[in-house]
A and B are shown apart, each in its own frame.
Chain A
């Protein structure tokens, strides 16, 4: 290999030029207003003035599989092993609003998550788990409103007041149109349902995060770190706009907005992303929306480590990648972390690999000492300078989106989609040319025997149990009540009222996911994807 060639100027993964050395000259002053103190506006350093050792981030492993009973068992295992929050993965039919016996659902029941076709399933998932004691996060978007209604209905049945129920519903449809694909309706009615649930949570469930504005899926689909942050904040602006439009003061709902990201491999840029994200959101909320409550300024983030950074080649290397990503997340000051299991590049993790993923966080929290001090990298010439650069580039991109008429228009025209698809292709080319090194993939490779990872198959008896339950629910419920609830929901959908109370009635009458979303599809129609310019 030649060593005489001019060394290429290093850049961050988003293309921010890097210097070999950073000095005090690189840090913008004045420190107090620009960076600020931990726990104070603009929260660059941290949302809190106390270190993690006084209150650790939440260990929140995403899981859910097969039927309700199987998932209930996995949750009880994870809680017994020290997991501190639940995170529900739902199967695709439940995410898109089809019952498990719909012909479209046939091959997907219980596959990428648990099947939830009616309130009965939700009751069983949380059987023996008090909703007063856990916080639960749902990665659900298309069918978020009904899922939320089901969770609240379970709380009611358990005798837990909604005011005590803690958790998060992802409820972020805009990124689904771009990257994750579980949309149902066109943007307008979808945004209305989201504003309905934000409003409902603000009034009845003040400890529940009514939305988790997600950049994760942009990032994993190919967006750079800067694009991830910019698209997410632009989505956040859209949701705040929509909710304010119905006359709800920003401080009444903004404290319940939260965020969700993927931490990828560029260690310092990821740390800078969380620091810049806190500062940008605080400014947006205070300056753009006039929020006065400090809780409205807070950029609270949950993160995932793993995803598209995991490789099928030498899959054990994924354990190391995830550990570094988790450390970057914690040095970035996030609120909850999900560390993916190393075999998730292939399949649903086993109990063993899921346990190792949880241990990865426990070692980080209890052995490395990173939890002892707030924002240990604050004041680092490099980290502060990179935080400024990420903030600057992100703000530029948000301005560009604003100038193009905002996020909804940019998505309807396929603009965001093509930016991401183009970058995904460029990244792949860089990997294949060797410009970007991925250990075990394009460097330090060796002949490998195919790993012995079994394909996950939904156990036939779980599927049978679930389908039988669905049939029984449809047969044994009070039919008149179910019919009336669906009719009332349809009327509400045609009007302008908040739909959440009608959804609560419908799920409590054991109307199924397919019936509820079938009714709403009839009113709202379905989304048509823009033609992609590849």
Chain B
């Protein structure tokens, strides 16, 4: 399959042991219908595996879905892995799931480009992902990285 030059690629990942994937699958379908390329990891990915897959698939956005309450620790691990791989500039990390407002702030401070807590409209997720994706495409263009 050839990858469209200006197509936003997204990895939707279930990280940790949590098995609630309704939201992840709904968002994946919405992003696909909005013209993005979406890869879904399935359940129980580890932070290492998620980052590896994201690099392999060369995605612009790495989306984490976490509904077990373990979002702080798991997001921290994914961000650290990404940094270790030197890919934290060309890839944005977003997080969705059951996070209370106080944690939304903390996740943003930690380095998540966007956080979608329960109650976020699907259309709002899609819109924000479009904008974020465009920014990531432009950033790579400027950095001269292969698209």
Contact = CB atoms under 8 A, between A and B. Distances in A.
B1 interface: no
A432 B69 contact: no
Q: Is the interface of A mostly helix, strand, loop or mixed?
A: loop
Given A106-B73, A424-B22, A529-B42, A429 B119 contact: no
Interface stretch (B26-34, B81-89, B138-146): B26-34
A108 B16 contact: yes
A455 B102 contact: yes
Contact of A107 (B16, B42, B121): B16
A181 B18 contact: yes
A366 interface: no
Contact of A180 (B19, B26, B44, B103): B19
A112 interface: yes
A261 B100 CA distance: 27
Contacts of B68: 92, 108, 111-112
B70 A107 contact: yes
Interface in B5-22: 16-22
Interface stretch (A164-172, A276-284, A331-339, A446-454): A446-454
A308 B74 CA distance: 23
Interface residues of B, number: 36
Interface string B17-51: 11111100110111010000010101110100000
B119 A311 contact: yes
Given A345-B98, A534-B28, A104 B122 contact: no
Interface in B60-112: 68-70, 73-74, 98-103
A112 B67 CA distance: 10
A221 B98 CA distance: 15
A455 B118 CA distance: 13
A221 B67 CA distance: 13
A96 B17 contact: yes
Interface in A313-341: 313
Contacts, number: 103
A456 B69 contact: yes
Given A455-B100, A532-B40, A346 B25 contact: no
Contact of A104 (B17, B25, B42, B43): B17
Given A92-B68, A347-B69, A425 B18 contact: no
Contact of B32 (A107, A112, A346, A534): A534
B123 interface: yes
A124 interface: no
Contacts of B16: 92, 107-108
Contact of A181 (B43, B101, B103, B122): B43
A454 to B, nearest CB: 7
A176 B44 CA distance: 13
Contacts of A450: 101
Nearest to B98: A346
11 contacts: A108-B16, A108-B17, A108-B70, A221-B20, A222-B22, A345-B98, A421-B25, A424-B22, A425-B29, A451-B101, A534-B40
